[in-house]
C-alpha cells in the first residue's frame, strides 16, 4: 500500500453511497440540505452508473455526473468517485454474450442483475478500462473528487468463471507459477494419483464439476488464480486512474466479513493507496460486535497498522439474508464507534437514501423511506455529531502485543473437499480464539505467517494454519527460538504450499517446536463431545476435533477424560529454546478456551488495555500527543471505568473515572 496518496479530508469521514441518478433532480437539493444537517463530508458516487454514462458503446453522457459533482463541490462534500465497472450495461452483453460468466456446471449466467461478467473476458477488460479512462480524464481535476473508488466489491458475485476464456487465463497463470514447467505442475498437483497427469498445457481446465472428488491442489491453485485475476483487473483500472490523476488516492472496497473469502487481501492491500471495507452484520449472530472488532483489526493489519475507511455498513437491516433484523437501540452508534476504535478513519453507509425500486429497496439507508421523521435519521444526525467530537482521533494508530496469524491460502486449503471433517471452518476457528482476547480487552493484530517482523509481538496465535510453507514454518520457529510464545490450533502445519501432507507425524511442520507427535486424527461427529481434565475448569468439554498425540518434550496441560483418547494430551505446553509453544489439539468449549487464553497471555506477559467489566469493549488508539481510549458497552449495563483526560463525546473532563452510559460509549483522550 502506497502512502504517497492520502485522503485529504479533516476528521473522520462521514457519508455513504449516493445515487442521485435514481431520483428526480428536485430531490438533489434536499439531499444537499440534509447531508449538511447530518454532517456528511464524503459520498461515493457513480458506482453503478455505467449504463447512464455510456448509453451505447463509445457514446458518453456525463451531464448528470457533472451536475452531481458540481453540487457536491458547492456544498463542501467530497466525492469518492467510482469507476462503474461492476455492472456492465445490457448493450454490452448483447454485443458480447461470451463475456457472461459460466459456472462450474457449464451454465452461462444471464445479465440483468450486477457483477455478471467473466473476469477473464477480453471484451470486458477492454470496455471497463475504456470507461474508466474516459471518466478519469474528465474528472481528474474536478475539485470534488477526493478519491477513486475502483469498481465495487470485487468478487462479491463473480469471483469465479469456468468458461474457455477463463481456462486460457488460468493456464497462462499456471505457466507463470510453474515457470513453464509442466513437470513441476504435475508434481505439485500430485497428478500421478488417479491417472491425472497432464502432457500438454492445453489439457488443463478449470476445476469444472466432475463425477468424483477433485484434485485438491488443482482447486487451491484455481482459488489463487481467481483472486489474482480480479486483482489484475483492479490494478489495470488503478493504472488508468493514476495516469490521469497522479495524486488522487485510489481504493476499492474490500469485504472482510464472515461470508466472503474469495480474495487474498494480503496480495491486494499493497496495490491500493487507501484501504476500505464493507462490513455487515449477520442477523443470526448473537455477538456481531466480535465480528466488527475482528474485521476491524484485520483491516488495520492489512493497512500496515494505518487507518482505513469503513466504506459500507448499514444503519439498520440489510435485505440479502433469509431474515434481516433491524439494529437494536444504540447499536448503529456502537457499531460505528467500534469500527473507529479498530482503526477506521471514515464511517460510510450503504446508502444515503433508501431506494424505491430495485433489488436493494429493502436495504436500510441514512435517510429511510419514512424520511426525516424517523429514528434512523435522528440517529444518523447524532452520529455525525459524535464523529465530529472525536475528529482528532483521525490518523492515530494502535499497538498490540498479540498477533493472530491469518492466511487466506490456509483457509482455502482447510476448506477443500475430502478433508477429515467438513465441519471445520477457518473463520470459526479464528473467531473462537479471538473472542476471549476481545472480551479481555487485549489488543490484537493479524499477521501473515511469513511476516518478517514477528518479534514485535510477545504472543503469536495460529488458531488454524493447515497449510504452511517452509519459509513461514521457519519464521514461526524462529520467533519461538528467540523467546516468543506461540500457540497453535489443531490440524495446523499439515500440508505444504502444494497441499502435500508433511510426513512423519502430526502436526507436521510444528511437531518439533510443539514437542508432540501425532499419529492419527479423530474428528468428532456433530453433537459429539469429549471431557477434558488437567489444568482446565471442572467439567470442561471439547468438540469438533481430537487427535492422538504423545509428548516428545511438551507437558500436558489438559488430557481427554473419556472417549477413545482418554488419557491422551489435548492441550500441551513446550519450552523450546528461549520460547514457549502451546498446542491446542481440540476445540475446548468457550469458557475453557477463555481460561486457557488467559493463562497463555499471562505467561507471555500480555496485559489488557484496561480492566473492564464483562460486556465493555475497550480499545486504545495511539496518537502523536495522546491516546484515545474507546469504551463501548455491549451489555447494556453501563459502567464506571478508571481513566484520566477528556471524554470527547461529551467534552467533559475525566478525573479518575469515566462513565460509560448503558448501551453507550465513551472516548477518553488520554494525553501522553
Among 18, 111, 408, 426, binds a second copy (CB under 8 A): 111
Distance CA 442, CA 400 (A): 8
- List residues bridging with 367 in a β-sheet: 353
Q: In 3-state terms, what secondary structure has residue 274?
A: coil
Distance CA 241, CA 139 (A): 10
**Cβ closer to a second copy: 32 or 104?**
104
Q: Quick one: which of 581, 552, 612 has its CA closest to 493?
A: 581
Q: How far is the CB of 370 from a second copy (least distance, A)?
A: 4
Q: In 3-state terms, what secondary structure has residue 303?
A: coil
Cβ distance 121 to 158 under 8 Å? no
**Cβ closer to a second copy: 324 or 392?**
324
Distance CA 28, CA 47 (A): 17
Extract the C-alpha cell encoding 389.
467530537
Distance CA 96, CA 92 (A): 6
Q: How far is the CB of 564 from a second copy (least distance, A)?
A: 5
Among 8, 25, 320, 575, binds a second copy (CB under 8 A): 320
- List residues bridging with 529 in a β-sheet: 543
Q: What residues numbered 503-562 form the site for a second copy, per CB under 8 A?
A: 503-506, 517-526, 548
Helix 216-244, helix 164-177: angle, nearest 10: 90
Q: How far is the CB of 556 from a second copy (least distance, A)?
A: 18
Distance CA 612, CA 590 (A): 19
Q: How far is the CB of 117 from a second copy (least distance, A)?
A: 9
Q: What number of other Cβ atoms are within 10 A of residue 244's Cβ?
A: 19
- List residues bridging with 342 in a β-sheet: none
Q: Is 358 left (phi over 0), alpha (psi -120 to 50) or beta?
A: left
**Cβ closer to a second copy: 171 or 607?**
171
Q: What residues numbered 369-408 form the site for a second copy, per CB under 8 A?
A: 369-371, 373-376
Q: How far is the CB of 413 from a second copy (least distance, A)?
A: 11
Q: In what order do the strands lie in the sheet with 344-349?
A: 250-251, 145-149, 78-82, 42-45, 13-18, 344-349, 308-312, 276-278, 253-254
Among 326, 381, 382, 595, binds a second copy (CB under 8 A): 326
Binding mask 332-371 toward a second copy (x if CB under 8 A, else -) reads ----------------------xxxxxxxxx-x---xxxx
Q: How far is the CB of 521 from a second copy (least distance, A)?
A: 7
Q: What residues numbered 556-595 form the site for a second copy, per CB under 8 A?
A: 564
**Cβ closer to a second copy: 131 or 488?**
131
**Cβ closer to a second copy: 204 or 649?**
204
Q: How far is the CB of 353 from a second copy (least distance, A)?
A: 10
Q: What residues numbered 4-33 form the site for a second copy, per CB under 8 A?
A: 19, 21-22
**Cβ closer to a second copy: 269 or 282?**
282
Q: How far is the CB of 394 from a second copy (least distance, A)?
A: 31
Q: Let me know if 216 is exposed, middle or buried by CB neighbors in 10 A (0-12, 13-18, 19+).
A: buried
Q: Quick one: which of 313, 341, 337, 349 has its CA closest to 387?
A: 337
- The answer to whether residue 324 forms part of the interface with a second copy (CB under 8 A) is yes
Among 44, 121, 128, 215, binds a second copy (CB under 8 A): 215
Distance CA 483, CA 599 (A): 17
Chain centroid to CA 3 = 21
Among 347, 443, 499, 632, binds a second copy (CB under 8 A): 499
Binding mask 279-308 toward a second copy (x if CB under 8 A, else -) reads ----xx------------------------
Among 41, 44, 49, 120, binds a second copy (CB under 8 A): 49
* Window contacting a second copy (CB under 8 A); options: 173-181, 216-224, 230-238, 394-402: 216-224
The catalytic residues are 153, 312
**Cβ closer to a second copy: 86 or 437?**
86
Please tell me the count of residues contacting a second copy according to CB under 8 A.
Answer: 122
Q: Quick one: which of 388, 345, 370, 369 has its CA closest to 39?
A: 388
Q: In 3-state terms, what secondary structure has residue 631?
A: strand
Distance CA 548, CA 569 (A): 8
Q: What residues numbered 153-192 form the site for a second copy, per CB under 8 A?
A: 156-158, 189-192
Q: Which residues contact 111 (CB under 8 A, 6 or more apart)?
A: 88, 90, 93, 100
Q: What residues numbered 405-464 form the site for a second copy, per CB under 8 A?
A: 417-423
Q: How far is the CB of 162 from a second copy (least distance, A)?
A: 9
Distance CA 447, CA 449 (A): 6
**Cβ closer to a second copy: 351 or 472?**
351
Q: How far is the CB of 449 from a second copy (least distance, A)?
A: 21
Q: What residues numbered 63-102 form the site for a second copy, per CB under 8 A?
A: 84, 87-91, 93-94, 101
* Window contacting a second copy (CB under 8 A); options: 33-41, 176-184, 194-202, 646-654: 194-202
Distance CA 330, CA 307 (A): 24
Q: What residues numbered 223-262 form the site for a second copy, per CB under 8 A?
A: none
Distances (CA, A) of 275 to 10, 65, 299, 358: 17, 25, 8, 29
**Cβ closer to a second copy: 113 or 575?**
113
**Cβ closer to a second copy: 508 or 579?**
508
Amino acid at each position: 500500500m502506497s502512502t504517497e496518496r492520502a485522503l485529504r479530508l479533516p476528521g473522520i469521514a462521514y457519508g455513504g453511497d449516493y445515487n442521485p441518478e435514481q431520483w428526480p433532480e428536485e430531490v438533489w437539493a434536499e439531499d444537499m440540505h440534509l447531508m449538511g444537517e447530518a454532517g456528511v463530508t464524503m459520498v461515493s458516487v457513480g458506482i453503478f452508473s455505467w449504463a447512464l454514462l455510456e448509453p451505447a458503446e463509445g457514446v458518453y453522457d456525463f451531464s448528470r455526473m457533472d451536475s452531481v459533482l458540481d453540487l457536491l463541490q458547492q456544498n463542501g462534500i467530497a466525492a469518492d468517485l467510482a469507476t462503474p465497472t461492476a455492472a456492465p450495461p445490457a448493450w454490452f452483453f448483447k454485443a458480447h454474450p461470451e463475456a457472461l460468466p459460466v459456472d462450474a456446471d457449464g451454465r452461462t449466467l444471464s445479465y440483468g442483475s450486477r457483477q455478471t461478467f467473466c473476469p477473464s473476458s477480453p471484451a470486458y477488460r477492454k470496455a471497463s478500462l475504456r470507461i474508466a479512462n474516459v471518466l478519469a480524464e474528465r474528472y481528474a481535476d474536478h475539485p470534488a473528487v477526493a478519491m477513486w473508488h475502483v469498481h465495487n466489491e470485487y468478487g462479491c458475485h463473480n469471483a469465479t468463471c469456468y468458461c474457455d476464456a477463463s481456462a486460457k487465463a488460468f493456464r497462462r497463470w499456471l505457466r507463470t507459477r510453474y515457470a513453464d514447467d509442466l513437470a513441476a505442475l504435475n508434481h505439485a498437483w500430485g497428478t500421478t494419483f488417479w491417472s491425472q497427469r497432464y502432457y500438454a498445457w492445453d489439457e488443463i481446465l478449470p476445476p469444472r464439476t466432475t463425477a468424483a472428488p477433485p484434485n485438491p491442489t488443482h482447486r487451491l491453485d484455481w482459488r489463487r488464480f481467481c483472486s489474482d485475476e480480479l486483482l489484475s483487473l483492479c490494478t489495470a483500472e488503478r493504472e488508468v486512474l493514476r495516469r490521469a490523476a497522479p495524486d488522487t488516492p485510489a481504493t476499492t472496497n474490500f469485504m472482510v466479513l464472515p461470508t466472503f473469502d474469495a480474495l487474498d487481501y494480503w496480495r491486494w492491500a499493497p496495490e491500493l493507496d487507501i484501504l476500505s471495507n464493507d462490513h455487515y452484520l449477520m442477523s443470526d449472530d448473537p455477538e456481531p460486535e466480535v465480528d466488527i472488532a475482528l474485521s476491524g483489526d484485520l483491516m488495520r493489519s492489512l493497512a500496515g497498522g494505518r487507518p482505513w475507511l469503513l466504506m459500507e455498513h448499514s444503519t439498520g437491516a440489510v435485505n440479502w439474508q433469509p431474515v434481516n433484523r433491524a439494529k437494536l437501540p444504540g447499536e448503529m452508534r456502537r457499531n460505528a464507534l467500534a469500527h473507529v476504535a479498530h482503526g477506521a478513519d471514515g464511517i460510510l453507509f450503504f446508502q444515503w437514501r433508501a431506494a424505491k425500486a430495485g433489488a436493494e429497496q429493502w436495504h436500510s439507508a441514512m435517510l429511510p423511506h419514512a424520511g426525516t421523521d424517523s429514528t434512523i435519521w435522528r440517529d444518523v444526525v447524532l452520529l455525525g455529531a459524535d464523529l465530529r467530537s472525536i475528529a482528532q482521533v483521525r490518523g492515530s494508530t494502535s499497538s498490540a502485543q498479540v498477533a493472530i496469524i491469518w492466511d487466506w491460502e490456509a483457509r482455502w486449503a482447510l476448506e477443500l473437499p475430502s478433508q477429515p471433517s467438513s465441519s471445520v471452518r477457518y473463520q470459526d476457528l479464528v473467531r473462537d480464539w479471538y473472542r476471549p482476547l476481545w472480551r479481555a480487552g487485549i489488543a490484537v493484530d493479524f499477521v501473515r505467517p511469513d511476516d518478517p517482523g514477528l518479534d514485535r509481538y510477545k504472543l503469536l496465535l495460529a488458531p488454524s494454519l493447515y497449510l504452511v510453507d517452509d519459509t513461514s514454518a521457519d519464521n514461526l520457529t524462529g520467533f519461538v527460538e528467540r523467546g516468543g510464545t506461540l500457540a497453535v490450533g489443531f490440524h495446523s502445519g499439515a500440508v505444504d504450499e502444494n497441499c502435500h501432507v508433511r510426513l512423519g507425524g502430526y502436526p507436521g511442520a510444528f511437531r518439533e517446536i510443539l514437542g508432540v507427535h501425532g499419529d492419527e486424527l479423530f474428528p468428532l461427529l456433530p453433537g459429539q463431545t469429549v471431557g477434558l481434565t488437567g489444568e482446565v475448569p471442572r467439567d470442561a468439554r471439547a468438540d469438533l476435533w481430537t487427535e492422538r498425540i504423545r509428548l516428545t518434550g511438551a507437558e500436558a496441560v489438559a488430557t481427554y477424560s473419556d472417549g477413545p483418547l482418554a488419557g491422551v494430551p489435548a492441550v500441551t505446553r513446550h519450552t523450546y529454546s528461549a520460547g514457549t509453544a502451546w498446542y491446542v489439539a481440540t476445540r475446548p468449549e468457550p469458557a475453557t478456551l477463555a481460561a486457557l487464553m488467559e493463562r497463555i497471555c499471562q505467561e507471555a506477559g500480555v496485559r489488557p488495555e484496561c480492566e473492564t467489566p464483562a460486556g465493555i469493549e475497550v480499545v486504545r488508539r495511539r496518537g502523536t500527543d495522546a491516546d484515545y481510549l474507546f469504551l463501548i458497552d455491549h451489555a447494556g449495563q453501563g459502567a464506571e471505568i478508571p481513566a484520566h483526560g477528556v471524554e470527547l463525546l461529551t467534552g467533559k473532563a475525566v478525573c479518575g473515572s469515566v462513565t460509560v452510559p448503558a448501551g453507550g460509549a465513551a472516548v477518553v483522550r488520554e494525553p501522553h
